[in-house]
Chain A
């Protein structure tokens, strides 16, 4: 009897979490799968596969997917390279005021997303924005940033880079600082120059932290919603619509929860595929 009670103790501790997990994670997961087979044009539940067939032939979904992948392929690598450069600079012996720089590059993350999106809207305004004023002052023509497809996409990528570059740099910096000095001393004795040291020692030893930032950025991009929703509203047209904003549009604006659930599961499948590729390419060790 006593033993049984003792065995139950850990479960007792887990119970509050398990209840919350069931209610707010497990139930929505199952429920949205169920919803994705509901024809939401008809009141009440009616089983149909229309949401899934629509997903495969929906030009808007394809656009959203294309935009999301475009950001993943262009913005994420560029940002991570910048973060790496920044991390190495912040780690340099020669740098004064290190604490200030670390704070400065991490600060964008502390700003509220809504506020920073509003600021980006303002500085990229065609007629009155600071960016165009700056371009004009050095003799370049204005760009209609938010009303043209490619510039609008560039604004989104810039905004995300501004916000996340410092954060990733700080993670990499932690990885950089965990590399022991003795490794570098040994390299110096062997006569390796700075460049060789970086390629042969620093980069391989930083792999875990670089991988970590890569995984975070890739999944962050898959779920990207805030910036395109608040800076460009997915526009102009659908030029900056991501899977996240399209899902919101379908779910909460057109009230097609069945279809929105199908989109969500589409993203989940995509995420699983991306994870699998990452594991295959980079190996599952030390991630």
Chain B
């Protein structure tokens, strides 16, 4: 009896110096969750005594339960929490004590290891509440075989007008059965965000001080979506619908953040070699052909019982080439760790993509992405925009400007931020 007490006291005393051990839980979603799982083997080589359990709750659920957990003073939260950059700020604004400031655990040495724009939404003053993970440079994933059959060449699609012309050719060839994309109209406003960001416009300005959703770049973005619908080159569908559509060959193109590469590859292994990638079409000739959609970070809830092990996991997955490149290889998550872009893997042709060097194509757009900031009002602005876009597509407004003026007014009254002059 006495012996065991002594023995366990020795354990307690030793644990401050020894390697982390015990079990940690990680919350994430879809491909991101699988990617984190892919880093566990190399993590366990370094830390054999830590057991990592990744739970895939689905994207919206992670957010909802995270907020609810913070509101309940840190109850029901995991040890490592995935958060999208765009919607991260609401956490730090409303619950400044819900997550650990990672600089207290030694994250300061990584500040220059990531691009500055990835830190913006994760920092408050000198505090850094989460570590950057991936980014979502937007590209077009296309079916080489279907393009070829319709007589369309990906290289000739330089503007959205070219894209519509290509879509009409595809329509003519397949009798309208194959579309050039799936828009989650009525469910989400991803297309609007991608196109607006490409035009250097977003819900708010980058200082989070005014509403900018009715500026010219956003108006143009919304108009383009309407044009795509009017030309009948896109169909409507949600996340699951788009996966079904590309598996069945009902779409010849998918526009998304580059992390969608893993979604396509893991859901449709049978289509290996039939896919390729090209940069987004520009608004007009010679315009920007890059945007960013999504991209996430990992945070460490203050209620975690095993912060050392949790931080070790975050550090290994995000701040080492080993972790980031493992996620890129298996699930196509684009590293925001600067050193990873130089990894030899990036310059290799990818078998699934017809031996195209897709990662080079994708990472080359990163430098052209206009900065955009979600702010703590991201979700609310998005809800307004989802409805505005659906209403505009269904013909409720005469012009895109009129629709976005209404949206700006509503977002302004919700957030208390003025509409930019």
List chain A positions with a Cβ less than 8 A from chain B: 40-41, 43, 54, 57-60, 127-128, 144, 147, 149, 233, 235-239, 249, 252-257
| Contact of B67 with A127 in the complex, beta carbons under 8 Å | no
**B113 CB–A CB distance under 8 Å:** no
| Contact of A252 with B64 in the complex, beta carbons under 8 Å | yes
Residue on B with the closest CB to A250? B380
Select one of A40, A236, A255 contacting B186, CB under 8 A. Answer: A236
Determine the distance from Cα of A147 to Cα of B235 in the docked complex, in whole angstroms: 10
16 contacts between A and B (CB under 8 A): A54-B413, A57-B413, A58-B413, A127-B244, A144-B236, A147-B186, A147-B237, A233-B187, A235-B386, A236-B187, A237-B386, A237-B387, A254-B379, A255-B67, A255-B71, A255-B94
Q: A149-B394, A255-B94 are in contact. Are A236 and B413 (CB under 8 A)?
A: no
Contacts of A41 in B (CB 8 A): 416
| Contact of A249 with B383 in the complex, beta carbons under 8 Å | yes
Q: A54-B413, A256-B380 are in contact. List 7 more A-B contacts (CB 8 A).
A: A60-B387, A128-B244, A147-B185, A253-B63, A255-B67, A255-B71, A255-B94
Determine the distance from Cα of A283 to Cα of B72 in the docked complex, in whole angstroms: 45
Determine the distance from Cα of A54 to Cα of B416 in the docked complex, in whole angstroms: 11
Q: How many residues of B contact A (CB 8 A)?
A: 30
Determine the distance from Cα of A131 to Cα of B72 in the docked complex, in whole angstroms: 43
| Contact of B63 with A43 in the complex, beta carbons under 8 Å | no
**B107 CB–A CB distance under 8 Å:** no
Determine the distance from Cα of A144 to Cα of B71 in the docked complex, in whole angstroms: 39
**B216 CB–A CB distance under 8 Å:** no
Residues 341 to 397 of chain B near chain A (Cβ within 8 Å): 379-380, 383-384, 386-387, 389-391, 394
Determine the distance from Cα of A59 to Cα of B412 in the docked complex, in whole angstroms: 13
What is the distance, in angstroms, from A40's C-beta to the closest C-beta of chain B? 8
| Contact of B94 with A252 in the complex, beta carbons under 8 Å | no
| Contact of A253 with B379 in the complex, beta carbons under 8 Å | yes
Determine the distance from Cα of A199 to Cα of B64 in the docked complex, in whole angstroms: 52
Contacts of A128 in B (CB 8 A): 244
**B338 CB–A CB distance under 8 Å:** no
| Contact of A43 with B96 in the complex, beta carbons under 8 Å | yes
| Contact of B185 with A252 in the complex, beta carbons under 8 Å | no
Q: Is the interface of A mostly helix, strand, loop or mixed?
A: loop
Determine the distance from Cα of A147 to Cα of B393 in the docked complex, in whole angstroms: 12
Residue from the set A57, A127, A255 with the largest chain B CB neighbour count within 10 Å: A255
Residue on A with the closest CB to B67? A255
Residue from the set B67, B186, B384 with the largest chain A CB neighbour count within 10 Å: B186
| Contact of B186 with A235 in the complex, beta carbons under 8 Å | yes
**B90 CB–A CB distance under 8 Å:** yes
What is the distance, in angstroms, from B242's C-beta to the closest C-beta of chain A? 12
Determine the distance from Cα of A233 to Cα of B60 in the docked complex, in whole angstroms: 12
How many A-B residue pairs have C-beta atoms within 8 angstroms? Tell me.
Answer: 58
Residue from the set A233, A237, A239, A252 with the largest chain B CB neighbour count within 10 Å: A237
Q: A252-B67, A253-B64, A255-B90 are in contact. Are A236 and B379 (CB under 8 A)?
A: no
Residue on B with the closest CB to A235? B186
Determine the distance from Cα of A235 to Cα of B189 in the docked complex, in whole angstroms: 12
| Contact of A236 with B67 in the complex, beta carbons under 8 Å | no
Report, nearest first, the 5 A-B pairs whose CB atoms are least far apart: A236-B186, A237-B390, A237-B387, A147-B236, A254-B380
Determine the distance from Cα of A235 to Cα of B394 in the docked complex, in whole angstroms: 14
**B111 CB–A CB distance under 8 Å:** no
Determine the distance from Cα of A84 to Cα of B394 in the docked complex, in whole angstroms: 39
Residue on A with the closest CB to B87? A253
What is the distance, in angstroms, from A144's C-beta to the closest C-beta of chain B? 7
| Contact of B68 with A235 in the complex, beta carbons under 8 Å | no
Contacts of A257 in B (CB 8 A): 71
What is the distance, in angstroms, from B408's C-beta to the closest C-beta of chain A? 13
Determine the distance from Cα of A60 to Cα of B394 in the docked complex, in whole angstroms: 18
**B410 CB–A CB distance under 8 Å:** yes
Q: A253-B67, A253-B379 are in contact. Are A237 and B186 (CB under 8 A)?
A: yes
Residues 227 to 265 of chain B near chain A (Cβ within 8 Å): 236-237, 241, 244, 250
Determine the distance from Cα of A144 to Cα of B235 in the docked complex, in whole angstroms: 11
Determine the distance from Cα of A147 to Cα of B394 in the docked complex, in whole angstroms: 11
| Contact of A59 with B90 in the complex, beta carbons under 8 Å | no
Contacts of B67 in A (CB 8 A): 252-253, 255
Contacts of B413 in A (CB 8 A): 54, 57-58
| Contact of A43 with B387 in the complex, beta carbons under 8 Å | no
| Contact of A43 with B383 in the complex, beta carbons under 8 Å | no
Contacts of A256 in B (CB 8 A): 380
Residue on B with the closest CB to A41? B416
What is the distance, in angstroms, from A125's C-beta to the closest C-beta of chain B? 8
| Contact of A236 with B390 in the complex, beta carbons under 8 Å | yes
| Contact of A59 with B410 in the complex, beta carbons under 8 Å | yes
| Contact of A235 with B187 in the complex, beta carbons under 8 Å | yes
Q: A252-B67, A254-B379, A254-B380 are in contact. Are A238 and B387 (CB under 8 A)?
A: yes
| Contact of B90 with A236 in the complex, beta carbons under 8 Å | no
Determine the distance from Cα of A278 to Cα of B207 in the docked complex, in whole angstroms: 53
Contacts of B96 in A (CB 8 A): 43
What is the distance, in angstroms, from A29's C-beta to the closest C-beta of chain B? 19
Determine the distance from Cα of A149 to Cα of B236 in the docked complex, in whole angstroms: 13
What is the distance, in angstroms, from A7's C-beta to the closest C-beta of chain B? 41
Determine the distance from Cα of A236 to Cα of B189 in the docked complex, in whole angstroms: 11
Contacts of B386 in A (CB 8 A): 235, 237
Residues 86 to 116 of chain B near chain A (Cβ within 8 Å): 90, 94, 96
What is the distance, in angstroms, from A18's C-beta to the closest C-beta of chain B? 25
Determine the distance from Cα of A233 to Cα of B244 in the docked complex, in whole angstroms: 20
Residue on B with the closest CB to A246? B383
| Contact of A43 with B94 in the complex, beta carbons under 8 Å | yes
Residue on A with the closest CB to B388? A237
Contacts of B63 in A (CB 8 A): 253
Contacts of B94 in A (CB 8 A): 40, 43, 255
Determine the distance from Cα of A233 to Cα of B239 in the docked complex, in whole angstroms: 13
Contacts of A237 in B (CB 8 A): 186, 386-387, 389-391
